[in-house]
């Protein structure tokens, strides 16, 4: 398995609309395994293929406490939405940012599994919110799109500053430690 790089907002590739998965083979199963490894390492509870620059309709989710109940949703569709509630969301592609987003409380969805079999699900709670959030990624949307333009600008500036600082610290030459540097 391979840990994949997660694209970060405002990377334009996050705006790509994902294509349907049409081939259910060993390569797809490797992609699923790599995405699960990446999600767990991040750490996160959901990851859409778009976030790792693979623009197909694939989502992995694990909302369990022990991270031992991974779920795979391929070519997902929401068939029905019920209720509405606002809840705080974050995103691996928008690190360190959290805000309230309104989502359906309950959904009925259809998706395929890694072997191409179609299943229907009744989802509520965190799993329903997570699937809706990840499905937005497949459409090229991010949770920050639900926020005001002013909030998006502030988030973009903050993330740009953090990225510059991170890049500068990686690029800074490292001094070799000599005995006089050790206390």
CA–CA separation, 94 vs 7, rounded Å? 9
In a domain, 4, yes or no: no
Segment 55-109, tens digit of pLDDT: 999 999 999 999 999 999 999 999 999 999 999 999 999 999 999 999 999 999 9
In a domain, 6, yes or no: no
Q: How much is the pTM?
A: 0.89
Domain that holds residue 142: 12-172
CB of 26 closer than 8 Å to CB of 14: no
State the CATH number of the domain containing residue 41. 3.90.45.10
Q: Catalytic amino acids?
A: 134
In a domain, 129, yes or no: yes
In a domain, 2, yes or no: no
Segment 105-137, tens digit of pLDDT: 999 999 999 999 999 999 999 999 999 999 999
User: How many domains are there within the chain?
Assistant: 1
For 116, counting Cβ atoms within 10 Å of its Cβ (0-12 exposed, 13-18 middle, 19+ buried), the class is: middle
């Amino acid at each position: 398995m391979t840990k994949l790089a997660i694209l970060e907002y405002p990377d334009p590739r996050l705006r790509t609309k994902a294509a349907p998965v049409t081939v259910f083979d060993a390569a797809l199963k490797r992609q699923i395994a790599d995405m699960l490894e990446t999600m767990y390492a991040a750490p996160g509870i959901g990851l859409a293929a778009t976030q790792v620059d693979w623009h197909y309709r694939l989502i992995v989710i694990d909302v369990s406490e022990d991270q031992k109940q991974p779920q795979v949703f391929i070519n997902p569709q929401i068939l029905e939405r019920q209720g509405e509630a606002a809840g705080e969301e974050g995103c691996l592609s928008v690190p360190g940012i959290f805000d309230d987003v309104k989502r359906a409380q309950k959904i009925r969805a259809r998706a395929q599994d890694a072997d191409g079999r179609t299943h229907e699900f009744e989802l509520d709670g965190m799993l329903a919110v997570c699937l809706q959030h990840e499905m937005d990624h497949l459409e090229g949307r991010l949770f920050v799109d639900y926020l005001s333009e002013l909030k998006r600008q502030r988030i973009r500036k903050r993330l740009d500053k953090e990225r510059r600082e991170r890049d500068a610290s990686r690029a800074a030459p490292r001094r070799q430690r000599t005995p006089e540097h050790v206390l």
